[in-house]
Structure 1
Amino acid sequence: MKTITAKEVETLLREGKPLNIVDVREADEVAAGKIPGAMHIPLGLIEFRMDELDKNKEYILVCRSGGRSGRAAELLEKHGYRVVNMTGGMLAWEGPVE
């Protein structure tokens, strides 16, 4: 599984790179702040909502610490999606939130 650090994601966003970020945390966690522009699909629903994702795009998956996003990445990879897990999750995120 490919990984990326929170700092690398922050740098790419600051450079204006178009990123496809999926936050797999629960709604109450996302309400406390998420990476600007991130799509929210809770881990428990990812299997049922993966058709909302485009297999031609690469997605960066985010959770609180990197565990749930890792599980989501494994599931999506099995279904042919290109995914990258953000290690450290939102605990490592120092960039802006919305």
Structure 2
Amino acid sequence: MPITPVKTLVAEAKEQIETLPQTEVETLLASGEIVLIDIRDIRELKRDGRIPGAIHAPRGMLEFWIDPESPYHKPDFATDKKLVLFCASAWRSALAVKNLQDIGVENIAEMADGFSAWKSRGAAVETD
């Protein structure tokens, strides 16, 4: 049996998750109403920059960092604020949000279009 194409997985995930427009994410981040989480690889952050105020949580550690029972739990995830994930182009973030919803995480969304679109439209970016 062939594997399900990633485009299909992403499309199915996006039907089941909340996606916030970038301008809304900017407003919510500025007002402190969300925790913005960058799930890109550290090499992407060093190469392309980062969104000021976003917390870096590599995709491979999300479940470990969000689970309060995990020895790797991070306090940034123990919040009543909405968690808003993003990656470069909103593919990994869609799959990550769907997976976190499936394990019981509530009050979670992804940022539309990802970091590439954020940077392209001239929104704030920090570089090393």
The TM-score with structure 1 as length reference comes to 0.85
Aligned to 1:78: 102
Secondary structure at the aligned position of 1:59 is classed as: strand
Relative to its length, the structure with more strand (as a share) is 1
CA RMSD of aligned residues (A): 1.6
* Bigger RCO of structures 1 and 2 (CA < 8 A, at least 6 apart): 1
Aligned to 1:40: 56
Number of residue equivalences: 96
The offset of 1:75, in angstroms, is: 1.6
Cα distance in 2 between the residues matched to 1:39 and 1:59: 10
> Among residues 18, 25, 35, which one is paired with 1:9 in the alignment?
25
Residue type at the aligned position of 2:22 = A
Unaligned runs of 5+ in 1: none
Cα distance in 1 between the residues matched to 2:56 and 2:115: 14
> Among residues 117, 120, 125, which one is paired with 1:92 in the alignment?
117
Residue type at the aligned position of 2:45 = V
Question: Percent identical across equivalent pairs?
Answer: 38
Residue type at the aligned position of 1:37 = G
The TM-score with structure 2 as length reference comes to 0.67
Unaligned runs of 5+ in 2: 1-16, 68-73
Secondary structure at the aligned position of 1:28 is classed as: helix
Q: Greater CA radius of gyration, 1 or 2?
A: 2
The offset of 1:42, in angstroms, is: 1.1
Which portions of structure 1, spanning 4 or more consecutive aligned residues, are displaced by more than 3 angstroms?
Answer: none
